[in-house]
Copies of this chain bind each other. A is one copy, B any other.
Amino acid sequence: MRQTKKSGDRFAKEPKQTRSRESLERLLTSAAKLLTEKKYSDFTLQEVSKVSNVSIGSIYNRFKGKDDLVRQIQQREVERMDIDSAVMINNLRRQQLPLRQLMPAVVHGFAEFLRKYRGILRALMEIAIVDEVVADTGRKHSVQNIGDYEKLLLECRDEITQPNPERAVNFVFRLVYASLSRYLGLGTVDESLEEGDWETLLDDLSDVSLHYLLGNPDQIRE
């Protein structure tokens, strides 16, 4: 079977690259999966090797060590999140909603976002305790992400009754973030985890946010 080399050229170097690519993909995927399933101190390269069917040596051919692997995983995941987040924010912005509708939409959107990535986020937060690089990357990503949401909410600044809308929006968003994180067990499992209903929580968060942003300050003075 003689083949003309014309069409074949495209694939000339493909096979090698493909095999490599595949095993790298397997490696990163398995590693990310293990990371989300375990405590970091139980996350071992031996198991990554076993589960991904990539030898220890190969892991070390591609990454400088355990730290490096974890950081690359973080990069990959953060990039995914950024895209996801950007798409969602853009969709919300297009709708030009009033705050009363935007706030619940933002809460739901952000909540879904966190829920989708809770596994890897929890893992990365744990690692951030001991790996300053992971901490930095996470911090930068988070600040940017939160900033985007705040900018979106501030497009309704005229509706906000609080004297300092920026501050108010920032505070409210942190409130939401903290509550959701806690519910999802980001930043560690803790005692009150998962009690209550997710949808109810989201509604309550929207409510409380609107009460604060749209409220009459006199109400809470004597």
Chain A: residues with CB nearer than 8 A to chain B?
2, 38-42, 100, 125-126, 128-130, 135, 138-143, 146, 171-172, 174-175, 177-179, 181-183, 186-193, 196, 204, 207-208, 210-212, 214-216, 219-222
Contacts and interface: CB of A to CB of B under 8 A. Distances in A.
B216 A192 contact: no
18 contacts: A2-B38, A39-B130, A41-B41, A100-B220, A126-B188, A135-B191, A139-B192, A142-B190, A142-B191, A172-B208, A174-B182, A174-B192, A174-B196, A177-B182, A208-B211, A211-B220, A215-B219, A216-B219
B214 A146 contact: no
B192 A100 contact: no
Contact residues of A: prevailing secondary structure: helix
Given A138-B191, A214-B219, 13 more contacts: A2-B39, A39-B41, A135-B191, A140-B191, A142-B192, A171-B204, A172-B208, A178-B179, A181-B190, A186-B187, A186-B190, A187-B188, A215-B215
